[in-house]
Chains A and B, each alone.
Chain A
Amino acid sequence: MEIERHEYDVVVIGAGGAGLRAAIEARQQGKRTAIVCKSLFGKAHTVMAEGGAAAAMGNVNPDDNWMVHFRDTMRGGKFLNNWRMAELHAKEAPDRVWELEAWGALFDRTKDGKISQRNFGGHEYPRLAHVGDRTGLELIRTLQQRVVALQQEDYENHGDYEAYIKVFAECTVTRLLKDGERISGAFGYWRETGNLVLFDTPAVVLATGGIGKSYVVTSNSWEYTGDGHALALLAGAKLINMEFIQFHPTGMVWPPSVRGILVTESVRGDGGVLRNSEGKRFMFDYIPDVFKDKYATSEEEGDRWYTDQANNRRPPELLPRDEVARAINAEVKAGRGSPQGGVFLDVSTRLPAEEIKKRLPSMHHQFKELADVDITAEPMQVGPTCHYVMGGVEVDADTGAADVPGLFAAGEVSGGMHGSNRLGGNSLSDLLVFGRRAGAGAAAYVDGLPARPKVSPEAVESAREEALAPLGRSGENPYEVHHELQRTMNELVGIIRKADEVAEALQTVEKLKERVRLVGAGGTRIYNPGWHLALDLRNMVLVSECVARAALLREESRGGHTRDDFPGMSPEWRRKLLVCSSEDGSSVQVVEKEQPPMRDDLITLFDRDELKKYLTDEEMAEFDGIAKKS
């Protein structure tokens, strides 16, 4: 069987926001660029993002600026963030949003004609550029149309739309190839035909998104099987922060088939409140000490905040996502949940029906069509859902480079930016800022290469064998193995973790690895989902092992990692990153690594009283020294 072969300067894997922005940048810098994606062009999971893109443009509140955004991001991540990434993100997000407008995006407007910005959990000022509650769709469509615009430009100049940028849609990459230490190519298959394909390329940008499909209840689509995480590990790169998984507090809980599908945080940002079965706004009981002075302590104050933010503190429904998710979990466990096992999220008594339809059109539509619930007339029932992995490929903040030469990562598949917990709205801006940087990083890397790395025939042959193996076996049904992995992760490494349960999950994962090696897929190679799943399972199991191993080691609770047996946040653990690697792809090793201390000019942006809640005594002494000097 002949293997189709293509030569590119940069291959971007994934066509969500980060992948498209990276590809646009690489192409704008003159590189021949391929975009390889598992779905059709324009269908990536970014379309699901509802709330908006956080950027301190200051259009609604002129007091906003990058320093406020930086502080909010660090706070949201419980100070475990890669602070350089948080800094670049806060500084560059406005330019990235404005650029979209110049490419045709139509955001909602303020009265004076600027881009409107909305409130969101953890953001001090209204900061999210948005289009109703379908911002992700606007972002993906704009980037997709920008790619098309570049193709039209290339057609004008070279007579070929695909001369410099080509989309390989419904194509899955199964292995990255190396020449010595350097990336030399990527190997995969066309989903449509089952034909094999080899990309000969010195630079690969991973932009594959997350890992949610290892969980039963998730807001993520089938694509989120941790491909990029696994490809990076298998190529010798490292993953960090894998224990931190964000459970979005408000997923749909009914009907069962849509359990986990997202209910945007904008519902709360625009006035929606959470109540338990006793009708109580329970979030007031769950304001943690570190946030005590930033949130309203009475319903009256919280309600006043929507119209007068200068003189009131925000309602606790807008705490960072990890706090709200744990609170809902606790209410349901205490027997105060809604009939279908969630809590009530009510906007119907808070805003007029017309206003709800205008501000939250797709939520109105989603509940009407999927659950037959009219959110303008009755409350929604919601509960936590696996939404986002903070962990990912360890990268250089400025260039997105992983520690394998030629390998880059951006967006959800990269780690560090969001620390232990991501703020809503910081994902779309992350994609744009670091997508662009990774594309530029890859282009610069290619320019600096003395010679093009070569693909070895042996590596291609072993990738070919691996990809075709499930078709030749009459083994177990891959769907069954997948279900067992999802149940294991959901029940044992979910929102609340215990050492013995995580250890049990690791034992199950070991057994699942064996079963993955034996799964079989019937049928032909043409568009065969059983075969595709069989291949994705390798990635899901490997990534699940990372999550479980890191979760077992981190003996504290922070952001998206809650240990029932270690409920407090530990200043010593804040300085430690857990780094996953895999020598041969059969198992995962985790080591501790110290996080570099924050730059002086950044740490002094915070009040001493706030830092005291997160830092060790030794770090506080250092801070006092810095503060005295400046």
Chain B
Amino acid sequence: MSYKAKFKVWRGEGGEGKLEDFTVEVNEGEVVLDIIHRLQATQAPDLAVRWNCKAGKCGSCSMEINGKPRLGCMTRMSTFSEDETITVTPMRTFPVIKDLVTDVSYNYQKAREVPSFTPPADVRPGEYRMKQVDVERSQEFRKCIECFMCNNVCHVIRDHEENKANFSGPRFLMRIAELDMHPYDVADRQEAAQSEHGLGYCNITKCCTEVCPEHIKITDNALIPMKERVVDRKYDPLVWLGDKIFRRAKS
């Protein structure tokens, strides 16, 4: 059950590049990353792509397939028709190093700017006691495989390079929410979420939630609750407006 598919793959390095056409064999059950690997093995040995686990667990093979951010390893070829031309390009928000590989160092910088887990000084290892229901909220966010597709798709930085300095992106705003909801974290994170990490830039269009391969409800479960926790509410008209329209019961 194999056929020849038409692919357009972005190739280039050093700031220049173009889409190159390939015709390549596709077999039953394959995913886009398999096809990229077949191109490497048969037609373009130096075609650059990141990948590791090939099972949707490591978040390395983020790319844009027909313009949508996707993991190459989790995009089945059977979701396309046989006569469709499939266009594969690197993530747009980050500078291209070569072909499908981008410079994602922005994400690692932002990770470093979020103060780490801060437990109370008097709790010793082995003494932690937490209820399952209390850890589940943060556990959802810790499912994140750091594919960085949420940051890639977020329009705050996708088309606005100038915002990168002041905006940590959904991934790291969610990290702040994760720590804020950790039963043992004692740091005050709410003010900094707004003033240093740019929570206010988020206008909850949920693009990040849509592309998340782990199906984490980034907007609903992390960003909106975080906005609500931010003390100085007048900085964020959306929350103010939201509160006017839907009055939330405080627990």
B126 at the binding interface (Cβ < 8 Å): yes
A106 to B219, CA, bound (A): 21
Closest to A116 in B: B132
Q: Are A106 and B182 in contact (CB under 8 A)?
A: yes
Partner of B130, one of A109, A131, A531: A109
A616 at the binding interface (Cβ < 8 Å): no
B24 at the binding interface (Cβ < 8 Å): no
A13 at the binding interface (Cβ < 8 Å): no
Q: Are A102 and B46 in contact (CB under 8 A)?
A: no
Partner of B128, one of A45, A101, A365, A522: A101
Closest to A145 in B: B116
Stretch from A253-261, A321-329, A443-451 at the B interface: A253-261
Cβ of B122 to closest chain A Cβ, rounded Å: 12
Partner of A477, one of B45, B52, B55: B45
Chain A residues near B139: list those with CB within 8 A. Answer: 106, 131-132
Interface size, chain B (Cβ < 8 Å) = 60
A95 to B127, CA, bound (A): 11
A114 at the binding interface (Cβ < 8 Å): yes
Q: Are B129 and A113 in contact (CB under 8 A)?
A: yes
A365 to B46, CA, bound (A): 32
Q: Are B54 and A149 in contact (CB under 8 A)?
A: no
A103 to B118, CA, bound (A): 8
Q: Are B45 and A221 in contact (CB under 8 A)?
A: no
Closest to B215 in A: A365
Q: Are B135 and A149 in contact (CB under 8 A)?
A: no
Q: Are A527 and B99 in contact (CB under 8 A)?
A: yes
Chain A residues near B104: list those with CB within 8 A. Answer: 40
Given known A47-B58, A103-B117, A528-B48, contact A257–B128 (CB-CB < 8 A): no
Q: Are B60 and A152 in contact (CB under 8 A)?
A: no
A477 to B144, CA, bound (A): 37
Q: Are A257 and B30 in contact (CB under 8 A)?
A: yes
Chain A residues near B45: list those with CB within 8 A. Answer: 477-479, 521-523, 528-530
A104 at the binding interface (Cβ < 8 Å): yes
Cβ of A46 to closest chain B Cβ, rounded Å: 10
Partner of A529, one of B46, B117, B126: B46
B98 at the binding interface (Cβ < 8 Å): yes
Given known A48-B58, A102-B119, contact A138–B142 (CB-CB < 8 A): yes
Instruction: Summarize B's interface: helix, strand, loop or mixed.
Output: loop
Closest to B51 in A: A222
Chain A residues near B130: list those with CB within 8 A. Answer: 106, 109, 113
A239 to B126, CA, bound (A): 36
Q: Are A39 and B52 in contact (CB under 8 A)?
A: yes
Q: Are B30 and A255 in contact (CB under 8 A)?
A: yes
Q: Are B46 and A109 in contact (CB under 8 A)?
A: no
A114 to B132, CA, bound (A): 9
A605 at the binding interface (Cβ < 8 Å): no
Contact pattern, A 144-156, Cβ under 8 Å of B = 1, otherwise 0: 0110110110000
A371 to B56, CA, bound (A): 13
* B62-114 CB contacts (< 8 Å) to partner A: 74, 76, 97-99, 101, 104, 108, 111-112
Chain A residues near B50: list those with CB within 8 A. Answer: 39-40
Q: Are B52 and A530 in contact (CB under 8 A)?
A: no
Closest to A105 in B: B142
Partner of B31, one of A98, A370, A526: A370
B125 at the binding interface (Cβ < 8 Å): yes
Q: Are B29 and A256 in contact (CB under 8 A)?
A: yes
A107 to B47, CA, bound (A): 40
A604 at the binding interface (Cβ < 8 Å): no
* B179-230 CB contacts (< 8 Å) to partner A: 179, 182, 185
Chain B residues near A98: list those with CB within 8 A. Answer: 125-126, 128
Chain B residues near A104: list those with CB within 8 A. Answer: 116-117, 119, 179, 182, 185
B57 at the binding interface (Cβ < 8 Å): yes
* A244-264 CB contacts (< 8 Å) to partner B: 254-258, 261-262
Q: Are A527 and B101 in contact (CB under 8 A)?
A: yes
Q: Are A161 and B117 in contact (CB under 8 A)?
A: no
A134 at the binding interface (Cβ < 8 Å): yes
Interface residues of A (CB under 8 A from B): 39-45, 47-48, 94-95, 98-99, 101-104, 106-109, 112-114, 116, 131-132, 134, 137-138, 141, 145-146, 148-149, 151-152, 161, 192, 221-223, 254-258, 261-262, 362, 365-366, 369-372, 477-479, 521-524, 526-531
A40-B104, A479-B45 are known contacts; what are 13 more A-B pairs with Cβ within 8 Å? A45-B52, A47-B145, A98-B126, A102-B124, A106-B142, A106-B182, A141-B144, A149-B117, A257-B34, A372-B76, A526-B13, A526-B98, A527-B101
7 contacts between A and B (CB under 8 A): A106-B139, A145-B116, A222-B52, A369-B74, A372-B76, A526-B98, A529-B49
> Which 5 A-B pairs have CB atoms at the shortest separation, nearest pair first?
A255-B29, A523-B46, A104-B117, A530-B45, A113-B129
